[in-house]
């Protein structure tokens, strides 16, 4: 084990006494005790399509997470005590090159710089999620009348409505039980290091055909959701100049962080954990522009980082959206995803880059196109995909009595890349769109399982044109042809190139 007599470079924060903490691990970082919180996550890939009730707990399990602040240039020693006997330990993302040392029930490793890692003991169940933050740069004055300040401790805030020129600050050591909503606001800041927990909110049901007058005591917005309660931890509609930084979002009742028709949004260093309920997407950017999502962690039970076009903002394009330096774990759905709803005049200049997918589900990177938008100039670049040695098959539950069926020698492998023009229940446009100029560059896949990919259009007028797969590597080996890369070409697809 490591030892040091130097002063600790980190800052850890006590947990509120009434907060339930993890019983699976103990943690020290740079010799300081760091509290470990508990969260609920998915245990099996078992789902339903728009059920009228919430997911049962027997499909879930408890996991752990902890956070601290550290200087950008620091390297810290992490020491973990596991309450379970240790058979194996993996620290992800693998690209960080962390080499754990195991001694009995103790694990030690060095961590260079802030960031997010996951420690898997004896496999991925009941994992430990560690969030090293850079020091907070902009702590607001708690006496400012435009600041909603939540200090250390537990706060039962419920629905928090934010207006223009206002700030919500969730301090380190704070747990706020509630959700944040802003509509038509500008110059909004949501900051801190603490936890925003939405476990007290019921699941919001979706009905695209239901008029607002059919919602007793509530209202139905133009995106088809009943928002008498807030949908998700953060729900921002038609907002401008928004900063979201540092906080942890836990246990949303549906889409965790959703932006509808927003512009000039900067999201950084947020952590999404405890997403287990049906339709618990990560971050959804719907019909917006000039949005940046960076240096964040997303573990979701549905699609992780998504760009959509929804009917309520059908005349607003999705343009100039950047996702970078994120760590992603997908328990169900698609990780870096455009669609399935693509109701917009245009969706373009979309970039997903320099990120780690540590666990995949359906698909790693894809465009699923069901509405009328012209989708073009999409880049997936420097994405590192870690394929596990074995996956559980994705299954749909047909009735409340159904149980997940474990398959012997389960053959399921998630797909790597996909583009599909299609129609489905979720789409509202009567015509299909097009896809053009999509690049997958410097994609690195590691693991025993080789993932397949598929590209398919709709018809001659609504097809896929201009796809470049450049420097695709599997366990260090460069793929040089479509068959070698495992890419299947369907109908109405033109000009696909594989380049070393």
CATH code at position 115: 2.60.350.10
Q: Are 144 and 156 in contact (CB under 8 A)?
A: no
How far is residue 177 from each of residues 34, 59, 156, 167, 244, measured CA to CA in Å? 21, 24, 5, 17, 18
- Flag whether pLDDT at 228 surpasses 70: no
Shared domain check, 442 and 386: yes
Q: Are 240 and 266 in contact (CB under 8 A)?
A: no
Each residue of 310-366: pLDDT tens digit?
Answer: 999 999 999 999 999 999 999 999 999 999 999 999 999 999 999 999 999 999 999
5 located within any domain: no
What average pLDDT is seen over the chain? 93
Shared domain check, 304 and 272: yes
Map tokens 């996550």 to a residue: 41
Domain final residue, candidates 106, 133, 160: 133
Map tokens 């950084």 to a residue: 268
- Residue 145 CB contacts under 8 Å (≥ 6 apart), including other chains: none
Query: What value does the mean pLDDT take over residues 466-472?
Result: 98
Helix (H) / strand (E) element for 487: namely strand 487-489
Separation of alpha carbons 431 and 425, rounded Å: 14
Separation of alpha carbons 89 and 102, rounded Å: 8
Each residue of 229-287: pLDDT tens digit?
Answer: 578 999 999 999 999 999 999 999 999 999 999 999 999 999 999 999 999 999 999 99
Shared domain check, 440 and 305: yes
Shared domain check, 365 and 467: yes
96 located within any domain: yes
φ, ψ for residue 94 (rounded to 5)?
-65, -25
Each residue of 396-445: pLDDT tens digit?
Answer: 998 888 999 999 999 999 999 999 999 998 899 999 999 999 999 999 99
Shared domain check, 153 and 232: yes
CATH code at position 445: 2.160.20.10
Shared domain check, 153 and 120: no
Q: Count other C-beta atoms under 10 Å from residue 385's C-beta.
A: 25
32 located within any domain: yes
Shared domain check, 155 and 89: no
- Flag whether pLDDT at 5 surpasses 80: no
Domain that holds residue 58: 25-133
Of residues 134, 66, 80, the one with CA closest to residue 110: 80
Domain final residue, candidates 65, 99, 133: 133
CA 403 to chain CA centroid, Å, is 26
Shared domain check, 306 and 439: yes
Separation of alpha carbons 76 and 84, rounded Å: 24
Shared domain check, 345 and 322: yes
Q: Count other C-beta atoms under 10 Å from residue 187's C-beta.
A: 16
What is the DSSP secondary-structure string of 258-307? EEES-EEEEEES-EEE---STTB-SEEEES-EEEEEES-EEEEES-SEEE
Map tokens 């450049």 to a residue: 470
Q: What is the pTM of this model?
A: 0.94
């Amino acid at each position: 084990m490591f030892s040091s007599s130097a002063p600790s470079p980190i800052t850890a924060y006590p947990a509120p006494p009434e907060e339930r903490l993890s019983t699976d691990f103990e943690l020290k970082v740079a010799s300081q005790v760091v509290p470990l919180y508990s969260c609920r996550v998915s245990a099996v890939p078992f789902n339903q399509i728009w059920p009228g009730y919430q997911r049962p707990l027997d499909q879930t399990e408890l996991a752990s997470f902890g956070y601290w602040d550290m200087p950008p240039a620091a390297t810290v020693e992490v020491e973990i005590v596991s309450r379970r006997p240790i058979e194996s330990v993996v620290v992800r993302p693998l690209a960080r090159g962390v080499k754990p040392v195991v001694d009995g029930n103790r694990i030690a490793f060095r961590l260079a710089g802030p960031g997010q890692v996951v420690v898997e003991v004896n496999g991925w169940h009941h994992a430990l999620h560690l969030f090293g933050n850079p020091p907070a740069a902009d702590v607001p004055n708690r006496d400012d009348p435009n600041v909603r300040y939540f200090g250390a401790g537990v706060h039962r805030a419920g629905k928090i409505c934010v207006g223009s020129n206002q700030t919500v600050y969730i301090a380190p050591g704070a747990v706020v039980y509630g959700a944040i909503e802003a509509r038509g606001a500008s110059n909004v800041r949501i900051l801190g290091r603490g936890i925003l927990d939405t476990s007290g909110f019921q699941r919001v049901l979706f009905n695209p055909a239901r008029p607002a007058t059919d919602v007793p005591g509530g209202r139905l917005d133009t995106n088809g959701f009943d928002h008498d309660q807030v949908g998700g931890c953060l729900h921002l509609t038609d907002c401008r100049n928004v900063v979201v930084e540092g906080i942890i979002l836990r246990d949303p009742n549906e889409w965790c962080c959703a932006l509808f028709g927003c512009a000039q949004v900067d999201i950084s260093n947020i952590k999404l954990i405890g997403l287990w309920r049906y339709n618990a997407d990560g971050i959804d950017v719907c019909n917006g522009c000039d949005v940046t999502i960076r240096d964040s962690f997303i573990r979701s039970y549905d699609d992780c980082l998504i760009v959509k076009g929804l009917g309520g903002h059908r005349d607003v394009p999705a343009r100039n959206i950047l996702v970078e330096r994120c760590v992603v774990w997908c328990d169900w759905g698609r990780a870096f995803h455009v669609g399935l709803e693509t109701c917009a005049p245009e969706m373009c200049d979309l970039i997903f880059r320099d990120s780690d997918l540590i666990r995949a589900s359906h698909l790693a990177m894809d465009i699923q196109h069901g509405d009328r938008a012209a989708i073009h100039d999409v880049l997936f670049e420097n994405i590192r995909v870690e394929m596990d040695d074995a996956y559980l098959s994705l299954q749909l539950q047909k009735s409340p009595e159904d149980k997940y069926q474990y398959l012997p020698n389960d053959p399921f492998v998630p797909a790597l890349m996909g583009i599909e023009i299609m129609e489905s229940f979720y789409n509202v446009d009567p015509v299909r769109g097009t896809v053009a100029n999509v690049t997958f560059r410097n994609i690195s896949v590691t693991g025993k399982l080789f993932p397949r990919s598929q590209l398919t259009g709709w018809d001659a007028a609504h097809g896929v044109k201009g796809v470049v797969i450049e420097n695709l590597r599997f366990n260090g080996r460069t793929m040089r042809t479509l068959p070698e890369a495992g890419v299947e070409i369907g109908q109405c697809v033109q000009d696909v190139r594989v380049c070393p």
